[in-house]
A = this chain, B = another copy of it.
Amino acid sequence: MNKAELISQIRQKKSYLCVGLDTDLEKIPQFLLEYEDPIFEFNKCIIDATKDFAVAYKPNIAFYEALGAKGWQSLEKTVEYIPKDIFTIADAKRGDIGNTSKLYAKAFFENMDFDSITVAPYMGEDSVSPFLDFPGKWVILLAHTSNQGSNDFQLMTNREHDTAFYEEVIRKSRQWATDDQLMFVVGATRADKIGQIREIAPDNFFLVPGVGAQGGSLEEVSKYGMNKDCGLLVNSSRGIIYASKEEDFAEAAGKEAQALQQQMEQYLAEFKTV
Contact = CB atoms under 8 A, between A and B. Distances in A.
A91 B104 CA distance: 13
A168 B153 contact: yes
Interface stretch (A39-47, A139-147, A199-207, A221-229): A139-147
Interface in A108-131: 111, 120-128
Q: How large is the interface on A (under 10, 10 to 19, 20 to 34, 35 or more residues)?
A: 35 or more
Contact of A124 (B62, B91, B100, B152): B152
B168 A150 contact: no
Nearest to A169: B153
Interface in A91-111: 91, 93-98, 100-101, 103-104, 106-107, 111
Contacts of A97: 145-147
Given A93-B95, A145-B123, A153-B169, A69 B69 contact: yes
A106 B66 CA distance: 6
Interface string A135-171: 0000000100111111111101111101001001100
Interface stretch (A7-15, A70-78, A190-198, A249-257): A70-78
Centre residue among A22, A63, A122, A158 by max chain B CB count within 10 A: A122
B149 A168 contact: no
A172 interface: yes
B165 A142 contact: no
Centre residue among A104, A107, A111 by max chain B CB count within 10 A: A107
Nearest to A157: B159
A236 interface: no
Contact of A95 (B91, B120, B127, B148): B120
A150 B150 CA distance: 20
Nearest to A93: B96
Given A96-B93, A153-B168, A147 B159 contact: no
Given A158-B156, A165-B153, A126 B147 contact: yes
A148 B126 contact: yes
A153 B122 CA distance: 6
Contacts of A85: none
Contacts of A133: none
A104 B156 contact: no
Given A122-B120, A156-B165, A172-B152, A98 B147 contact: yes
Contacts of A104: 62, 65-66
A76 B69 CA distance: 9
- 7 smallest CB-CB distances across A and B, nearest first, come from A124-B149, A124-B152, A62-B103, A126-B149, A66-B103, A69-B72, A159-B159
